[in-house]
Structure 1
Amino acid sequence: MLDRDGYRPNVGIVIANPHNEVFWGKRIREHSWQFPQGGIKQGESPEQAMHRELYEEVGLRPKHVHVLARTRDWLRYDVPKNWIKREWRSTYRGQKQIWFLLRLVGRDSDISLRASGHPEFDAWRWTDFWVPLDSVIEFKRGVYKAALNELSGSLFEGAGDRRPPAYRGEVVR
């Protein structure tokens, strides 16, 4: 399902533990790490898609998490043409995402990467909320930066600007 501009509706999920560290999943059989994410099916709300993807990718049910925040609007990224199947190149541009920030209220042992028949991750870890942007695939960095900047207020209110330079837009050398 694509919108008229060629973007597939999708959700991104940031899961924070009580120490404000976030779940970081390693893509199965790859050396890339990311937050859980997935498409929104026809007739599904972003919230419904988030809960479905949360279970499919990390085995967590609604009872294991509390929704802290979501992005106000869609965040978009374009997928490089060489990553798009030839038959889709004339219509598909990328993804538009609503991002959710969740608090894990369950235990680490509630996380199961094998909850579905098609696992997305083969390893996971807790990492700093401000994931290094250079560890995110290049074409998704802008969306990660925008999502974490917008959602951070729900975890770090009153703590001043804890964002690293890359998230403030400063040049880092």
Structure 2
Amino acid sequence: MTDPSSLPYRRNVGAVIFNNAGEVFVARRTDMPGAGGPPEEGVWQCPQGGIDDNEATDRAVFREVAEETGMTSLTLLGEHPEWMSYDLPAELIGKALKGRYRGQTQKWYALRFTGPETEIRLDLDAHQEFDAWKWVPLTQLSTLNVGFKKPIYENLAVSFSHFS
């Protein structure tokens, strides 16, 4: 078994995307059916993804959102002041994140979606990450994802509450 403390954190960016009604975009993961509850519910999360070499985080977040959701009609509302990290549960060490990381350290941004909903496309990537999407109140974020990410989503709900 790999010693988790010997593994680094993977750096990535995340986006809390607000619509004009103040609701937040979440998408259901294709690789975790039922992990957050009954299979029909699945695991819902905000878009997030890795940072390319020499890529600025504020550019990476727009790229990741476009790759995962098709959304390009976005404006930057704000940036969380700190990097936030989570550790994978023991049973996922060596399996998730290609087995190379103990968890992720994330830089989060608040964005506003200003385009038509027809712009939202989850099928643009050959390795489709999401199969459904919806708008939810910001306060629901921490209830829709896996438990080990709950503290991050609770923090985001407080930090970005003035955007909803």
TM-score band w.r.t. shorter chain? 0.7 to 0.9
Structure possessing the higher radius of gyration over alpha carbons: 1
Q: Distance in 1 between matches of 2:71 and 2:135?
A: 15
Q: Aligned pair 1:10/2:12, yes or no? A: yes
SS at match of 1:130: helix
Displacement of 1:92 in angstroms is 2.7
> Counterpart amino acid of 1:116?
D
Q: Distance in 2 between matches of 1:59 and 1:106?
A: 11
Q: Tell me the matched-pair count.
A: 149
Structure 1 residues 132 and 150 mapped into 2: Cα distance closer, same or farther (>3 Å)?
closer
Q: Distance in 1 between matches of 2:9 and 2:63?
A: 20
Q: Distance in 2 between matches of 1:114 and 1:132?
A: 23
Displacement of 1:32 in angstroms is 1.1
Specify which of 78, 83, 101 is matched with residue 74 of structure 1: 83
Specify which of 35, 48, 64 is matched with residue 53 of structure 1: 64
Q: Distance in 2 between matches of 1:21 and 1:132?
A: 10
> Counterpart amino acid of 1:28?
T
C-alpha contact 2:141 2:157 (8 A) present in aligned 1: no
Question: Over residues 1-33 of structure 1, what are the superposed CA-to-partner deviations in whole Å (9 max), with x where a residue is unaligned?
Answer: xxx972111111111111001111011152111
Q: Distance in 2 between matches of 1:114 and 1:95?
A: 25
| Alignment match, 2:39 | none
| Alignment match, 1:131 | 140
SS at match of 2:123: coil
Q: Distance in 2 between matches of 1:20 and 1:118?
A: 30
Question: Over residues 126-166 of structure 1, what are the superposed CA-to-partner deviations in whole Å (9 max), with x where a residue is unaligned?
Answer: 1111115332211000111112211223x15xxxxxxxxxx
| Alignment match, 1:20 | 22
SS at match of 1:124: strand
Specify which of 104, 114, 120 is matched with residue 123 of structure 2: 114
> Counterpart amino acid of 2:116?
R
C-alpha contact 2:71 2:113 (8 A) present in aligned 1: no
What's the C-alpha RMSD, in Å, of the aligned pairs?
Answer: 2.2
Q: Aligned pair 1:34/2:45, yes or no? A: yes
| Alignment match, 1:44 | 55
Q: TM-score, normalised by structure 1?
A: 0.78
Specify which of 87, 93, 97 is matched with residue 102 of structure 2: 93
Higher RCO, 1 vs 2 (CA within 8 Å, ≥6 residues apart)? 2
Q: Where has structure 1 moved over 6 Å in runs of 4 or more?
A: none
Q: Using the aligned pairs only, state the percent identity.
A: 36
Gap runs ≥5 in structure 1: 157-173
SS at match of 1:148: helix
Q: Distance in 1 between matches of 2:66 and 2:14?
A: 13
